[in-house]
Structure 1
Amino acid sequence: MAVAKKKEPRSKFYELLQAQVHNEFNASQQYIALAVWFDNEDLPQLAKHFYKQSVEERNHALALVQYLMDTDHHVEIPGTGDVRNEFTNVTELVQLALDQEKEVATDIKTLAKAARAEDDYQGEQFMQWFLKEQIEEISSMDTLLKIVQRSNGNLFDVEAFLHRESVGDGGDDPTMPPVAGGTL
């Protein structure tokens, strides 16, 4: 019979890490909502981009889960928060994605600071990859927002750009920490 790990008081870093699991899963769900919106508007390249973003955020959540398990901490898989589904224009969707990535970057910085403040050198080192990743995520969404704005409403130009160019790393970073269950 398997013995469940008991919940022990955790440091601020581990409490924030557990909260970040929720944030990453919620970001994944929000990206699915954006992808579905684009799919419904017959914009396959934008839909594909955001479906990939959703998987990437899911992988980030499960990398945090794997780290919690590897460091012998209790893990709770949370539900997700509210997801926005109603939009009036494409700029609104991409702006939401950029704002979401900026919020995640703030959360990741807070995690890194908490690990450092607690002299948790392993936790601080673990967060370094996520700090680097947020630079790429913000840059990618900022680029996409600029392309959408420059298109002046011609979404076929945005579609052509995404078909032709690569925006972001697509989640294919070989330096990413291990993911519980493996990456998708």
Structure 2
Amino acid sequence: MAITAKKIQPKTSTFHELLQNQVRNEFTASQQYIAVAVWFDSRDLPQLAGHFYRQALEERNHAMMIVRYLMDNDVEVTIPGIEPVRNEFGEVTELIALALAQEKEVTEEIVALAKAARADDDYLGEQFMQWFLKEQVEEVSQMSTLLNVVERSNGNLFDVENFLAREVVGDAGADATAPPAAGGAV
């Protein structure tokens, strides 16, 4: 008589539902950063454009990390559409302020996810969220710094371009402790 392993079916939890929503949030953030990057790129500001193109990839990778986590835990994954993104801006501070507000909002979402994992007694989920909590501290810090630099530049975007060319802002997604992304990080 052959013995077969019975696959354990995870219960659907509040944490898993919130993770599904976070996939949408991360993809939306990625698209918003592409819109910001294109705005800078179309105005011949390559350092600012490059910074936000990299941010867009980072947010896409965050979504795919969540997807990988869900798949690894036998949770059915649904890839969602995204929310509308803003494409019209008047001045540079608007773009950076939007990015900072977006990162603060994502931080609140990540904290809610960590709380939900704890409330669901999902210790694996709680551990998974630790990296994202650390990441959000970096994300908010870098956008705060960039907004300060833009405000101090008094409209001289070449100073901002020089700052980004000279300084390392963020880790560019090269964190060896990052969770794996479905399909590999880009």
Deviations 1:17-74 (A, max 9, x none): 0000000000000000000000011100000000000000000000000000000000
2:67 maps to 65
Deviations 1:89-115 (A, max 9, x none): 000000000000000000000000000
Deviation at 1:153, TM superposition (A): 0.2
For structure 2, list consecutive stretches of 5 or more residues without a partner in the other structure. Answer: 1-9
C-alpha distance in 2 between matches for 1:59 and 1:174: 14
For the pair 1:24 / 2:36, whether they are aligned, the reply is no
Aligned to 2:108, what secondary structure does the other structure show? helix
Query: TM-score, normalised to structure 2's length?
Result: 0.94
Q: Supply the AA of the counterpart residue of 1:177.
A: P
C-alpha distance in 2 between matches for 1:9 and 1:83: 34
2:5 maps to none
1:138 maps to 140
Aligned to 1:175, what secondary structure does the other structure show? coil
Equivalent residues in 2 for 1:8-87 (5 A)?
10-87=12-89
Equivalent residues in 2 for 1:151-166 (5 A)?
151-166=153-168
Equivalent residues in 2 for 1:87-106 (5 A)?
87-106=89-108
1:176 maps to 178
Q: Supply the AA of the counterpart residue of 1:143.
A: T
For the pair shown, the structure with the greater C-alpha radius of gyration is 2
Q: Percent identity?
A: 69
C-alpha distance in 1 between matches for 2:38 and 2:12: 38
How many aligned residue pairs are there?
178
Query: TM-score, normalised to structure 1's length?
Result: 0.95
Aligned to 1:174, what secondary structure does the other structure show? coil
Q: Supply the AA of the counterpart residue of 1:83.
A: V
C-alpha distance in 1 between matches for 2:129 and 2:27: 17
Q: Supply the AA of the counterpart residue of 1:105.
A: T
Q: Supply the AA of the counterpart residue of 1:94.
A: I
For the pair 1:112 / 2:78, whether they are aligned, the reply is no
Aligned to 1:169, what secondary structure does the other structure show? coil
Deviation at 1:9, TM superposition (A): 6.6
Q: Supply the AA of the counterpart residue of 2:75.
A: H
Aligned to 2:184, what secondary structure does the other structure show? coil
C-alpha distance in 2 between matches for 1:160 and 1:25: 29
C-alpha distance in 2 between matches for 1:13 and 1:155: 42
Deviation at 1:10, TM superposition (A): 1.8
For structure 1, list consecutive stretches of 5 or more residues without a partner in the other structure. Answer: 1-7
